[in-house]
A and B are shown apart, each in its own frame.
Chain A
């Protein structure tokens, strides 16, 4: 709770929030280039209000967000790492504004894809989850990458990042169950394949629970990978059936990636001594192509559902 003092309000528009609005919570640093498309995407899916924490941006992100009519913005220069990678800030904002709302909690490079997302807004999903008595919606993060070298094409502000990073790994994900928090632990994809081939246990976690009907007794434990109370982590069926689930398309591997990685190593503000970023930079210098001949090109959610990367469950 002490973390709340680290946040200072820049643009407070939370008064606009209406009872059943869908809210989006996000922490960022220097993501000006990505913001316009990010906002456009989630507005189109039916997010009604955005709550951002700006962690010391100096590229104009802050000014841009401040000017948006449906954004509330907090700013902090405190340590990202010491706030447990933003989790403390998110938990505090969720506790204060998320109560009884369906909340999307994502990073600026994560794009939520759920069943029927091309024809139904998020509210259709959340209404259905409500009527089913479900409080959390599980996803897997799907790392997207371009056909050629990561830095070959320049991402332009406002552009759909998946016009460039259109490819993904379809069937190399490794799942185990975390007995303590009952969540699944998913690893794999291009990051495990290329950056951690000899140390798979260090490969980043891909399981995420980014959509929750918030209650003030809830809390994120570790990024959006797991939650308390533990029941919220049971987004999977363990009797053979499929629950409805989605995918977070992860637009990490754009030309912004290498600069970002070097910056993050410099800042030492990321998980595990920024081990992940060190591995990236090391690899990126040798073979910057993540694509292989079995890579799949993204079409739509139905493709992901057929490939078994997400499920409609009993939503039809």
Chain B
């Protein structure tokens, strides 16, 4: 028989019994180490449950604490016993009580028999592993760790800090290079016995006794000295999350585990009854002789860690509420804000919707009510059009809208007569494309039929609001893609900026605008501005409009020649 198992057991003894029975019953010797923390009576019952099997042994018990030497000591005891008592075994497979064989034992036996001199142990130098948690990679070999990480975390951390401060370094024994790797290995008798019978073992043990998490480095380091053919990978499928704690397998992972073709998986949730009943069989029908291929499971767990550490951009919910600057995307997607365009052009929204597709809203922050596209009263996600609810938390309103419409670009109009609370938020959002024609709000006043004194007062107020808004857009904190034109500049040559904006929104379109939006009739606008000046107000945001000359109003029939073909 070519393979024997070592099992380190501390909880869920009934599951460990089942697995040990499976292996032993398939002809593989099993040596079990039971944590001394397990009550005597439980241990006796456990041992009794396996007493009928003549190839199961129990080794000397150690009190095991995670991250300490006791794990290695337990492994050593069990390994010595396995090598001594079962002279036939060629490979020793280290497993835990939460391990579950996924493929029939005879497949593993055949696999190892075909590779009689190969050691399967993950072993990587410290400088090459990105996955150590807590920043202790090299340092775990050069510091002392007398305090328990689980029980006395503060002391542990403080002691590490002190050692860093005084630059304390232990000497690594000559001849070995620290390596790290998964604790679960499968070594040949030659390699394992060489490690255990090494004349310098006392030196190595004394050194590793003070190393942090030696069970991930003792055999991984020493195997390098003796192995003739080392495959630096573990035959046990075992994935860890960002906190260094193993991912757990449940009943619903059954298909995934089957397809992984790994020999053994850990950790299995003790109550995952379906997994245990499905995999603890040597049914030759499921034999595939495939190479282990855990890629699918890797992807699943990588995604889980990404979700936990990065999250979904633009999502705000009960378990994700990032503080400013840590949003990893303030909103879920790109959107465009147009300021002044719907004042300067007639039916701008209709034209824009035709040109770029996507969803074109009116003034979402209009003081009376939200102007959703198509005058909808309720929008995606049951977002209402009521102003009070929106103004209660404008930021939530906008992030909700962008989240609810993921995959479809949103465009909306904005101006100085809208609620301004959202200004900073959009200015600091890299997903926002903000295009502003300053002063265009005056067109609306220019066309209105109101007393001039009212107009003058309102113009002054709007100009003040827009000036403040433009200051925000020009601040050093702005991350949005902002383009600002004065109205006078824009009117001179409207198609070029429009083309730039549209290209940015729909880059794959690559189509030239075939139709220009209709500009409002600006005849007399220069005089209108002059009148405001005469009343003592200084309209400056719209740029320089000479009195009597109306540059922005070409004869209507000459609209098309604007287009650059």
Query: A residues bordering B, Cβ < 8 Å?
Result: 116, 119-121, 123-124, 127-128, 131-132, 138-140, 169-177, 184, 186, 188-190, 192-193, 197-201, 207, 235-245, 292-295, 308-316
Contact = CB atoms under 8 A, between A and B. Distances in A.
B389 A240 contact: no
Interface in B296-323: 300-301, 303-305, 307-312, 315-323
B386 interface: yes
B241 A200 contact: no
Nearest to A46: B271
Contacts of B393: 174-176, 200
A242 B320 contact: yes
A197 B388 contact: yes
Contact of A172 (B247, B304, B322, B384): B384
Contact of A171 (B251, B303, B327, B380): B380
A127 B12 CA distance: 13
B382 A193 contact: yes
A161 to B, nearest CB: 20
A232 to B, nearest CB: 14
Given A124-B271, A176-B393, A192-B389, A119 B323 contact: no
A176 B312 CA distance: 18
Nearest to A247: B318
Contact of A174 (B250, B307, B381, B396): B396
B301 A316 contact: yes
Contacts of A171: 380-383, 400, 403-404
A313 B388 contact: no
B252 A120 contact: yes
Contact of B248 (A128, A236, A243, A294): A128
A176 to B, nearest CB: 7
B381 A172 contact: yes
A296 to B, nearest CB: 8
Contact of B321 (A128, A177, A293, A314): A177
B514 interface: no
6 contacts: A199-B388, A200-B388, A235-B318, A240-B320, A294-B380, A316-B300
A309 B397 CA distance: 16
A143 B271 CA distance: 33
Contacts of B317: 140, 173, 175, 236, 242, 245, 308-311
A241 B382 contact: no
Interface in B176-213: none
Given A128-B248, A235-B319, A316-B304, A198 B386 contact: yes
A198 B388 contact: yes
Which A-B residue pairs are the 7 nearest by beta carbons?
Answer: A171-B381, A245-B319, A314-B308, A316-B304, A169-B382, A171-B404, A200-B392
Contacts of B381: 169-172, 294
B319 A138 contact: yes
B327 A236 contact: no
Given A175-B318, A314-B308, 15 more contacts: A127-B248, A186-B318, A197-B389, A200-B388, A200-B389, A237-B311, A237-B320, A240-B328, A241-B310, A241-B311, A243-B308, A311-B317, A312-B304, A313-B307, A314-B307
A312 B311 CA distance: 10
Interface string B362-399: 00000000000000001111111010110011001100
Contact of A240 (B311, B379, B397): B311
Nearest to B382: A169
A229 B317 CA distance: 22
B41 interface: no
B321 A172 contact: no
A140 B318 contact: yes
B304 to A, nearest CB: 4
B309 to A, nearest CB: 5
A121 to B, nearest CB: 7
B393 to A, nearest CB: 4
B245 interface: yes
B383 to A, nearest CB: 5
B550 to A, nearest CB: 45
A44 to B, nearest CB: 15
B319 A175 contact: no
Given A172-B400, A243-B308, A308-B312, A294 B251 contact: no
Nearest to A169: B382
B242 interface: yes
Contact of B383 (A172, A177, A308, A310): A172
A267 to B, nearest CB: 30
A123 to B, nearest CB: 7
A308 B406 CA distance: 12
A313 B319 contact: yes
A312 B245 CA distance: 16
Interface string B320-341: 1111001110000000000000
B269 interface: yes
A197 B381 CA distance: 16
Nearest to B274: A119
A193 B242 CA distance: 40
A128 B400 CA distance: 31
A82 to B, nearest CB: 30
A103 to B, nearest CB: 19
A124 B300 CA distance: 18
Contacts of A140: 317-318
Contacts of A199: 388
A311 B389 contact: no
Contacts of B247: 316
Nearest to B304: A316
A116 B252 contact: yes
B451 interface: no
A186 B396 CA distance: 11
Contacts of A124: 250, 269, 271
B477 to A, nearest CB: 19
| B300, B305, B379, B396 pick with most chain A CB within 10 angstroms | B396
A244 B389 CA distance: 28
Contacts of B379: 294
B243 interface: yes
A242 B321 contact: no
A138 to B, nearest CB: 5
Contacts of B318: 138-140, 175, 184, 186, 207, 235-236, 245, 310
Contacts of A192: 389
A128 B307 CA distance: 17
A201 B392 contact: yes
